[in-house]
Amino acid sequence: MAIVAGVDIGNSTTEVCIARVSDSGEMQFLSSGIIKTTGIKGTTANIPGIRMALADALKSAGVDMHDLKQIRFNEATPVIGDLAMETITETIITESTMIGHNPGTPGGLGLGVGKTVAFGELDQVLSGEKVIVVIPAGIDFADAAQSLNWAFDRGVLIEGAIACQDDAVLIANRLEKTIPIVDEVTLIDKVPLGMLAAVEVTEPGNTIQTLSNPYGIATVFHLTPEETKMVVPIARALIGNRSAVVVRTPQGDVKARTIPAGAITIFGQRHREEIDVDAGSTKIMQAVERVQPVVDVKGEPGTNAGGMLERVRQVMSDLTGQPLNQMNIQDLLSVDTFIPQEVRGGLAGEFALENAVALAAMVKTSRLPMQQIADQLTAQLGIPVVIAGVEANMAVLGALTTPGTDKPLAILDMGGGSTDAAIATRDGKTHSIHLAGAGDMVTMLINSELGLNDIDLAEDIKKHSLAKVESLYHVRLEDGTVRFYEEHLPPQVFARVVILKESGMVPIPTTHSLEKIRHVRREAKKKVFVTNALRALARVAPTGNVRHIEFVVMVGGSALDFEVADMVADALAEYGIVCGRGNIRGTEGPRNAVATGLVLTYTGDGR
């Protein structure tokens, strides 16, 4: 009689399966455990998490640590994802300054064009002169409105106003004429004076039409065709805003700086491909497929792509203790995305979405780091620790404990950092593949495209559905249905898009609509999970054709996602494949497949 533990070290979680094996080979599963992985997968930093997961599972089984006869590990392959910009690192604006930050309550209405003038010099402006008044901090809204009305009476043509404080509506309500007013401009002292400017404010619920259109800006400022090309970034940055200001400044006020995206070289066993990141993810992935199997990937020095790939190598070299020149990238997933970039020339924290290419790289490390973990854990616990098998092969064995399954069977193990696939034939042979990119990359895309700068919030958006709080007693769910509440909701969630977590509603601190956030979330999952599912299955299929696979079982943490499994199943349905979530041992759902497979191999007869 022996008590054995299977330990699956994943990018996100470390899972444990405890079983009692009789002398005749009969197996009784006792318990399972799961803990968030400590450190990067496949490094000695994993040991604290392994010990916690073991302790948790052993406690549930009512077994002491010293009763364990053996601990069995999977071969862990670390994956790191990063972003490489395509084309530019910041929006370039030449001969212009802009303010398009969309304050919550701009004042007035319409489009005004005139020269900027300081509020304190308004009494010096001549009758008939068209001006945009710049109101600094410290000016009371009543005093500001009174001074503007006096100027109106003198015949000054005040076309609009730019204010530092959040009192645009209070000023507009006290004016004799309706003019557009943009407020909350924090860097008001940097607004150039004596320059031609345009201010546009539209009604609530609408978006500006003139300053978000390059030809509209060209009309306002009488630009030449060459100058119109230069203001395209301004127009793009202002799309969707309710208010905006554009000021034309002397040539040379705003300097441009670019860092090229660069090229990457993909080395295969027989030949290599070089491709510019500017070409986009589709071309990059076509190059990856042409050189299969990938031996290494390198980026052009001095570029975004080169810096990103070398950073991945350096991190893995530092963590594993292996020489930098031995850090080879064995797979690459490329996805088109967007990154909010700060606008040069902006005066209120303006950002514009710029094209980017997200790259997830799988670094090939030696068996040495995993052996270091095993040796250290053996020394600490006094229990033999062995590296028992390839992760995807173990997942197949675990998946076969799902009721209603049999060989031949393919599995998709979608975790945090990698998408693994394996197929078991009727004669017991298995073939597996590890591909870069999974849940962590989806989180990264959501965080980037929504400009959250908060990985934890992006992770919550990925995992949970959304709603819009329309009153203190009801919300509209993302599928359009309405849910009512007997008790009033917290005031801080009113009129906000919220994440529906088990612990309650979490407001999302952005101005993005529910539809935009949902679209970004679903597209990120399709770009990563669906793309990698088809890629992985094509690699393990006997003929390289996905259509020759009949049954697919999805396992891993990402299979628990409330929409990923359906997305993958829909994509595979057109190939006539039966696909669904696994239920490991009939009790664990899609979790614990690898850990269960590791325990099953202890008997030596697979199943």
Domain CATH number, residue 55: 3.30.420.40
Lowest pLDDT segment from 59-73, 86-100, 140-154, 426-440: 86-100
Based on the fold, state whether residues 397 and 534 are members of the same structural domain: no
Distance CA 213, CA 246 (A): 12
Amino acid residing at 282: T
Residue 468 has pLDDT above 90, yes or no: yes
The position carrying tokens 């690459």 is: 332
Last residue of a domain, one of 230, 248, 266: 248
Based on the fold, state whether residues 458 and 544 are members of the same structural domain: yes
Domain CATH number, residue 243: 3.50.30.70
Neighbours of 578 (CB within 10 A): 12
Residue 410 has pLDDT above 60, yes or no: yes
Scanning 124-164, the segments in alpha helix (DSSP H) are 141-153
Whether 74 contacts 390, CB under 8 Å = yes
Based on the fold, state whether residues 508 and 545 are members of the same structural domain: yes
- Residue 102 within a domain: yes
The position carrying tokens 């599963």 is: 29
- Residue 253 within a domain: no
pLDDT for 353 equals 65
Calculate mean pLDDT across residues 448-456: 90
Q: What percent of the chain has pLDDT over 90?
A: 53
- Residue 526 within a domain: yes
Cα 577 → chain centroid: 29
Lowest pLDDT segment from 37-46, 168-177, 253-262, 586-595: 253-262
Handedness of CA 177, 202, 347, 344 (dihedral sign): negative
Calculate mean pLDDT across residues 330-343: 79
Based on the fold, state whether residues 273 and 386 are members of the same structural domain: no
Give residue 90's pLDDT band: very low, low, confident or very high (50, 70, 90). very low
- Residue 458 within a domain: yes
Based on the fold, state whether residues 103 and 171 are members of the same structural domain: yes
Which range of residues forms the domain containing residue 100? 96-248
Give residue 462's pLDDT band: very low, low, confident or very high (50, 70, 90). very high
Nearest to 399 by CA among 63, 8, 23: 8
Based on the fold, state whether residues 441 and 558 are members of the same structural domain: yes
In the DSSP assignment, the letter for residue 489 is: P
Neighbours of 415 (CB within 10 A): 26
Nearest to 304 by CA among 240, 356, 239, 252: 356
Calculate mean pLDDT across residues 52-64: 95
Distance CA 529, CA 438 (A): 6
pLDDT for 40 equals 80
From residue 311, give the alpha-carbon distance in Å to each of 280, 304, 308, 324, 348.
21, 10, 5, 11, 32
- Residue 166 within a domain: yes
Total residues belonging to the chain: 607
Residue 488 has pLDDT above 70, yes or no: yes
pLDDT for 30 equals 96
From residue 151, give the alpha-carbon distance in Å to each of 168, 181, 221.
18, 16, 25
Based on the fold, state whether residues 488 and 564 are members of the same structural domain: yes
Which of residues 153 and 346 earns the better pLDDT score?
Answer: 153
Greatest extent of the chain over all pairs of C-alpha atoms, in Å: 104
Based on the fold, state whether residues 465 and 490 are members of the same structural domain: yes
Which of residues 513 and 321 earns the better pLDDT score?
Answer: 513
Domain CATH number, residue 281: 3.90.470.30
Mean confidence (pLDDT) of the chain: 86
- Residue 572 within a domain: yes
Q: What is the pLDDT of residues 195-243, one digit of tens each?
A: 899 999 999 888 899 998 999 999 999 988 988 887 877 787 787 788 8
pLDDT for 220 equals 92
Q: What is the separation, in whole angstroms, between the first and last Cα of the chain?
A: 18
Calculate mean pLDDT across residues 448-467: 93
For the chain, the C-alpha Rg in angstroms (whole number) is 30
Based on the fold, state whether residues 416 and 511 are members of the same structural domain: yes
Residue 343 has pLDDT above 70, yes or no: no
Calculate mean pLDDT across residues 493-514: 93
Residue 291 has pLDDT above 90, yes or no: yes
pLDDT for 386 equals 92
Give residue 11's pLDDT band: very low, low, confident or very high (50, 70, 90). confident
Residue 511 has pLDDT above 90, yes or no: no
Based on the fold, state whether residues 455 and 546 are members of the same structural domain: yes
Amino acid residing at 425: T
pLDDT for 83 equals 54
Residue 180 has pLDDT above 60, yes or no: yes
Per the structure, the count of domains in the chain is 4
pLDDT for 367 equals 59
- Dig out the tokens for 282 from the structure: 């589709």
Give residue 53's pLDDT band: very low, low, confident or very high (50, 70, 90). very high
Based on the fold, state whether residues 176 and 153 are members of the same structural domain: yes
Scanning 31-82, the segments in alpha helix (DSSP H) are 47-61
Whether 248 contacts 221, CB under 8 Å = yes
Complete DSSP assignment for 270-304: S-EEEEEGGG-HHHHHHHHHHTPSEEEEEE-TTSH
pLDDT for 252 equals 45
pLDDT for 145 equals 96
Q: What is the pLDDT of residues 297-318, one digit of tens each?
A: 998 887 778 887 888 788 777 7
Distance CA 322, CA 223 (A): 58
Neighbours of 216 (CB within 10 A): 20
pLDDT for 607 equals 36
Residue 97 has pLDDT above 60, yes or no: no
Which of residues 362 and 566 earns the better pLDDT score?
Answer: 566
Q: What is the pLDDT of residues 380-403, one digit of tens each?
A: 999 999 998 888 789 999 999 999
Based on the fold, state whether residues 351 and 369 are members of the same structural domain: no
Residue 455 has pLDDT above 90, yes or no: yes
Compute the half-sphere exposure of residue 12: CA atoms within 13 Å on the CB side of its CA. Answer: 18
Calculate mean pLDDT across residues 241-254: 73
pLDDT for 254 equals 46
